[in-house]
Structure 1
Amino acid sequence: MTSTSTPALVAVIIEDDPDVRSLLDEVFLAAGFETILTGSGVEGLAAVEQHHPVITTLDINLPGIDGFEVARRIRRVSDTFIMMLSALSEESDVVLGLTSGADEYLVKPFRPRELRARIEALLRRPRLAAPGVADARVPTPRVPDNNRSDPGAEQALDGATVLTWRGRVHRDLSLDLDTRLVLIGQRRIELTPTEFDLLAMLLEAGKRVCSKADLARGLRAAPPGSNDYVSEPDKRAIETHIANLRRKLGDSTTQPRYIETVRGVGYRLTSNEGS
């Protein structure tokens, strides 16, 4: 269902099966979304660029371009949450989907209630004020020398003035919660929304270890201290997202500079000492 007005929430559905597409349409409409329905990767890409959706659902077996490639192309132009829906359930398929840029991977057949719960969890996660392309129009912030917020910061850059900076710093890695920019030195690092949120949680925790379950609950925006159930597939998804995050940061698992693994427990920031 489409509309000429500009809705508060837009979902692009990329699905070639009419029955599944209709089910997705019903679930998103019930969740308060305006939906844009497409049946191929090419149509879906065009819809994402035109409508700037908050969430995009993506089948893998599509005519023309498969879902993995569509996800990679979406990531070049949009920071929409990508929810990959597929009958492919092998771990290698899930890993490839998340590595291609997906934030969620849901195996078909799925229950509408589970899909609705995942939609609501994504909506609880912080985003930029205007969903859409994360590009160079957002000015680069001045990075302070510590790990504290710097509300008094002011710097003119490319004709724009940054009046506030609410971020975190670890070594030469900096993250701005407001503009959702990540820098290593002065080099911008492009992350998916999920990778950004995971990095923000690790930077917030400092030297405290974050378990995979804690990180999964954090992505759901569960209350602090929550004991919500986290499945093994969700924990494996966290492992994949962390591996993608490390790759983009140029980090090493054997000699980590930013994120270290605490075997059998989870992840935490490295010490500021050393190289």
Structure 2
Amino acid sequence: MEPGVAGDGTPDRRALVVEDDADIRSLIDLTLSAQGFVIRTAATGRDGLQLAREWEPDLITLDLGLPGIDGLEVCRRVREFSDAYLVVVSARQDEVDRLMALQTGADDFLVKPFSPRELQARVTAMFRRPRGAGEVATVTTAGSESSSVVLGGSAVPEGHEVLVHGPVGVDVDGRRAFVSDDEVELTRTEFDLLTHLMRTPARVWTREALLRTVWGNDWVGDAHLVEVHIGNLRRKLTQASGDKGLIHTVRGVGYRMGG
């Protein structure tokens, strides 16, 4: 099925299903088609990577045990050029596999056998996340208005919301994050977490509050996802700045911006 336009005039969402088991591939295809996605499928990691580059899907479901290039390597390579939502659907149940997938760039992990309704619920929650494109009339930096802001050596377009905390700067509408003048490549989930932390730098966010705010009120996952994605985000900010305290853990409570 080729991409087109939905009945309300909006472009169809695209989902790429990368799965070598024909029955499961068909099940995911039917499940996501019922949500209005245009589907393409691939049975190998190599074919999945090629389609991800050429077709630019909004969502990718990915098995780990693929022939040739395995799912973790596919995930890693996809994250070099795409910020599509990525859900690993795998028979592997070990915690280490889940952690490795999330650390490599997956947004969620679903264990086979899975409920089609649960997959639909998780995908719905993902696409309900606020993406940062809002009705912002002025550029805002650290709570004050400014006519021009420079991030990474370039002026941020007028009308974009900008958040600055210490060396970290975020162009919310442009979905770009910087440490000093260096841009930091973040996944969608990492970017959303950073944005929410920076909007209220003095607030301590509990894991449950971040789940509701970033993933959505109907999210059916667990708070452990927050710990993994915060860990990935903190690592990237630390590598760019040398400062381990840009995101502060409040023991027994949650997280806030450091400094």
TM-score, normalised by the number of residues in structure 2:
0.86
Equivalent residue in structure 2 for 1:116, among 120, 140, 150: 120
> What's the CA shift for 1:261?
0.5
Matches within 5 A, 1:1-275: 2-3=1-2, 5=4, 7-127=11-131, 146-148=141-143, 150=145, 152-153=147-148, 162-222=157-217, 234-250=222-238, 256-271=244-259
Native 8 Å contact 1:54 1:80 kept in 2: yes
> What's the CA shift for 1:168?
1.2
- Measure, in 2, the Cα distance between the counterparts of 1:82 and 1:229: 15
> What's the CA shift for 1:50?
1.2
Match for 2:182: what amino acid?
Answer: R
- Measure, in 1, the Cα distance between the counterparts of 2:191 and 2:223: 17
SS at 1:162 equivalent: coil
Distance 1:14 1:198, change over 3 A: same
Native 8 Å contact 2:3 2:14 kept in 1: no
Match for 1:199: what amino acid?
Answer: L
Match for 2:246: what amino acid?
Answer: Y
Distance 1:3 1:158, change over 3 A: farther
- Measure, in 2, the Cα distance between the counterparts of 1:161 and 1:244: 26
Distance 1:3 1:159, change over 3 A: same
Match for 1:245: what amino acid?
Answer: L
Match for 1:181: what amino acid?
Answer: R
- Measure, in 2, the Cα distance between the counterparts of 1:128 and 1:16: 35
SS at 1:76 equivalent: coil
Q: Which residue of 2 aligns with 1:137?
A: none
- Measure, in 1, the Cα distance between the counterparts of 2:253 and 2:153: 44
Structure 2: tracts of 5 or more residues without a match: 6-10, 134-138
When structure 1 is superposed on structure 2, of 80-89 and 55-64 the one drifting more is 80-89
TM-score, normalised by the number of residues in structure 1:
0.82
Q: How many residues align?
A: 246
> What's the CA shift for 1:237?
1.6
Structure 1: tracts of 5 or more residues without a match: 130-142, 223-227
Q: Which residue of 1 aligns with 2:8?
A: none
> What's the CA shift for 1:229?
7.7
- Measure, in 1, the Cα distance between the counterparts of 2:236 and 2:154: 29
Native 8 Å contact 1:97 1:105 kept in 2: yes
> What's the CA shift for 1:230?
6.3
Native 8 Å contact 2:91 2:111 kept in 1: yes
1:36-68 CA distance string (max 9 Å, x none): 111111111111111111110000000001100
> What's the CA shift for 1:185?
0.9
Match for 2:207: what amino acid?
Answer: K
Percent of pairs identical after alignment? 41
1:200-235 CA distance string (max 9 Å, x none): 11112321111111111122232xxxxx6865xx21
Q: Which residue of 2 aligns with 1:136?
A: none
SS at 1:250 equivalent: helix
> What's the CA shift for 1:251?
6.5
Q: Provide the alpha-carbon RMSD of the alignment.
A: 2.6
- Measure, in 1, the Cα distance between the counterparts of 2:84 and 2:68: 22
Distance 1:154 1:206, change over 3 A: closer
When structure 1 is superposed on structure 2, of 211-220 and 80-89 the one drifting more is 211-220
When structure 1 is superposed on structure 2, of 64-73 and 209-218 the one drifting more is 209-218
